């Protein structure tokens, strides 16, 4: 079999390591074979490629010395950092809240690492190009790779020359950005390629925006994405613009962009998901669950939407309805410790006590992360309290602290249980520890004031 054909077949089957090996063998015999060089470069890029739309962090950074932040003291309801002044449903009072006062989502999504801690934490789970024919052309010495050295001598690449080559410029850019992590040279290539195509290719503007975001030049990235949207309205472009406004803490502008995108792409699941997350972050659970319901209508297998609707019903004192949604996730094959933990809580509060301990046992068996195991033991303490077994509840909380020694709600609940047993000094020590681990948690502060007033 022709080695080049075999390498192409391996690339299409995503066996990139074997593809790279065969391309290296061909290049040892024909060092200037530009087709093999391009294929090896694509394979190396795809091997480390990660979709940044799903992997980037949406964490709001500290605005100290950040020129991208519009206002350091925004009005309530216009920022993701400040609590909303909108009066929410009173039944959400038991829902865990962040340090700013907003209820946490409880949903671990691919695009965010934010997950808070609270009294009852419900955690749930959320391109390649090719050529039709082989076109062998001899390249220059810049593509000549040494056997023991780097694959491409980046310093010897003539970026202005390759920027005009429409067959290679995109592959070289992705190699520089994803494989080499060389943002400076990648941005220079993108600038030259944008000029070569007379600013008519929206793809290069998006790549420039990626480089600007990597260099924290958010406003420049915003201009490039808006220019790309004018040329070609694309769902991915709108999502990138939404993420930029979230990064500079302008959720209302991001919401407007979502609604503009939905006018062009009605009922698009990815846009509606961004809008549902935004409204949830702005402490508007009713609007958020409305969007999630629309998502389920369009995509009945969307796990994030089903989990968020179930969480909404749980915190609105409807555990039976929440149980339906979590059972749906279980039927879809989403077996995880978080899901069984949620099922156990729903069974507990819907008085299906025969299934409660079985769900928590399954959650403990599947829990590998110590933090997840700590949450399961913490929720198990509520089962013991509901059964009236205080000693078992204390034991569950102690096991929770063995898994996570900084679990502030567990310290607070231990203090309450020890106070009921008459151990006031031990309770006070636990409350002080809880306050030290999580100063924003209101329960330890309130309980400490009660203890001081009693004495």
User: Who's near 31: CB < 8 A, 6+ residues apart?
Assistant: 144, 145
Please indicate whether the domains covering 300-366 and 392-455 agree at the CATH topology level: yes
The 10s digit of each residue's pLDDT in 201-212 is 999 999 999 999
Q: Is residue 381 within 8 Å of residue 400, measured between CB atoms?
A: yes
What pLDDT is recorded for position 32?
Answer: 81
What pTM value is reported for the model?
A: 0.78
Q: Domain ranges for the chain, please list them.
A: 1-56+137-156, 300-366, 392-455
CB-hemisphere CA count at 13 Å for 130?
Answer: 15
| Joined tokens for residue 113 | 């690492």
More confident residue, 136 or 284: 284
User: Who's near 446: CB < 8 A, 6+ residues apart?
Assistant: none
CATH architecture of 392-455: Alpha Horseshoe (1.25)
Q: Interhelix angle for 353-366 vs 370-387, to 10°?
A: 160
φ/ψ (deg, to 5) at 221: -65, -40
What pLDDT is recorded for position 455?
Answer: 63
Name the 3-class secondary structure at 327: helix
The 10s digit of each residue's pLDDT in 105-142 is 545 655 554 444 333 444 333 333 333 333 333 344 44
| Joined tokens for residue 34 | 């530009």
Q: Which CATH number fits domain 300-366: 3.40.50.2300, 3.30.70.120, 3.90.180.10, 1.25.40.10?
A: 1.25.40.10
More confident residue, 288 or 1: 288
φ/ψ (deg, to 5) at 97: -125, 160
The residue-averaged pLDDT of 170-194 equals: 91
**Cα torsion at 86, 91, 94, 98 (round to 10°)?**
-20
| Joined tokens for residue 362 | 């399954």
CA nearest to 129, candidates 61, 48, 41, 54: 41
CA nearest to 122, candidates 103, 138, 141: 103
What pLDDT is recorded for position 153?
Answer: 76
Q: Is residue 162 within 8 Å of residue 142, measured between CB atoms?
A: no
Q: How confident is the model at residue 79 (pLDDT cuts 50, 70, 90)?
A: confident
User: Who's near 135: CB < 8 A, 6+ residues apart?
Assistant: 35, 167
What pLDDT is recorded for position 296?
Answer: 95
| Joined tokens for residue 44 | 């190396």
More confident residue, 10 or 142: 10
| Joined tokens for residue 164 | 């005009």
| Joined tokens for residue 257 | 């962009």
Lowest mean pLDDT among 18-27, 49-58, 88-97, 127-136: 127-136
Residue environment code for 133-142, b if the CB has 16+ CB neighbours within 10 A, otherwise e = eeeeeebeeb
CB-hemisphere CA count at 13 Å for 354?
Answer: 0
The 10s digit of each residue's pLDDT in 383-418 is 999 988 999 999 999 999 999 999 999 999 999 999
Percent of the chain residues past pLDDT 90, beyond the cut: 56
CA nearest to 255, candidates 291, 216, 298, 297: 291
What pLDDT is recorded for position 356?
Answer: 93
The residue-averaged pLDDT of 155-181 equals: 88
The 10s digit of each residue's pLDDT in 315-346 is 999 999 999 999 999 999 888 999 999 999 99
Residue environment code for 99-125, b if the CB has 16+ CB neighbours within 10 A, otherwise e = eeebbbbbbbbebbebbbbbbbbbbbb
| Joined tokens for residue 233 | 């309205």
| Joined tokens for residue 95 | 């829902």
What pLDDT is recorded for position 118?
Answer: 37
Instruction: Give 386: exposed, middle or buried? Use CB within 10 Å, 0-12, 13-18, 19+.
Output: middle
Residue 195 pLDDT exceeds 60: yes
What pLDDT is recorded for position 107?
Answer: 56
CA nearest to 7, candidates 16, 17, 19: 19
């Amino acid at each position: 079999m022709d080695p080049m054909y075999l390498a192409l077949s391996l690339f299409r089957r995503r066996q990139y390591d074997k593809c790279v090996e065969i391309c290296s063998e061909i290049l040892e015999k024909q060092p200037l074979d530009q087709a093999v060089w391009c294929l090896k470069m694509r394979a190396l890029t795809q091997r480390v490629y990660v979709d940044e739309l799903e992997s980037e962090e949406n964490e709001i950074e500290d605005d100290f010395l950040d020129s991208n932040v519009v206002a350091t003291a925004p009005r309530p309801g216009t920022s993701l950092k400040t609590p909303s002044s909108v009066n929410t449903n009173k039944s959400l009072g038991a829902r865990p809240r962040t340090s700013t006062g907003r209820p946490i989502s409880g949903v671990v999504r691919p695009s965010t690492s934010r997950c808070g801690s609270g009294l009852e934490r419900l955690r749930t789970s959320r391109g390649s190009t090719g050529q039709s024919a082989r076109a062998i052309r001899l390249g220059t010495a810049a593509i000549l790779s040494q056997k023991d050295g780097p694959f491409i001598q980046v310093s010897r690449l003539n970026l202005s020359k390759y920027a005009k080559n429409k067959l290679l410029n995109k592959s070289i850019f992705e190699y520089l950005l994803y494989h080499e992590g060389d943002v400076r040279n990648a941005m220079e290539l993108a600038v030259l390629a944008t000029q070569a195509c007379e600013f008519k290719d929206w793809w290069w503007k998006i790549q420039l925006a990626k480089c600007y975001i990597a260099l924290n030049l958010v406003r420049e990235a915003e201009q490039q994405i808006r220019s790309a949207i004018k040329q070609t309205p694309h769902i991915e472009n709108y999502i990138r613009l939404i993420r930029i406004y979230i990064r500079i803490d302008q959720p209302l502008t991001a919401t407007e962009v979502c609604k503009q995108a939905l006018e062009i792409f009605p009922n698009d699941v990815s846009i509606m998901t961004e809008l549902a997350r935004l409204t949830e972050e702005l402490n508007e659970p009713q609007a958020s669950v409305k969007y999630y319901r629309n998502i389920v209508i369009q995509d009945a297998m969307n796990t994030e939407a089903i989990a968020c609707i179930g969480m909404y019903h749980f915190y609105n004192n409807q555990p039976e309805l929440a149980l339906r949604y979590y059972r749906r996730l279980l039927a879809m094959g989403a077996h995880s410790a978080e899901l069984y933990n949620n099922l156990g809580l729903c069974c507990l509060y819907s008085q299906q006590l025969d299934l409660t301990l079985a769900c928590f046992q399954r959650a403990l068996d599947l829990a590998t992360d110590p933090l997840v195991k700590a949450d399961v033991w913490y929720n198990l303490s509520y089962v013991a309290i509901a059964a009236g077994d205080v000693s078992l509840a204390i034991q569950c909380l102690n096991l929770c602290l063995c898994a996570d020694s900084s679990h502030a709600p567990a310290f607070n609940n231990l203090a309450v249980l020890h106070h009921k047993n008459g151990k006031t000094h031990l309770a006070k020590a636990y409350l002080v520890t809880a306050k030290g681990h999580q100063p924003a948690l209101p329960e330890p502060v309130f309980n400490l004031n009660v203890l001081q007033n009693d004495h």
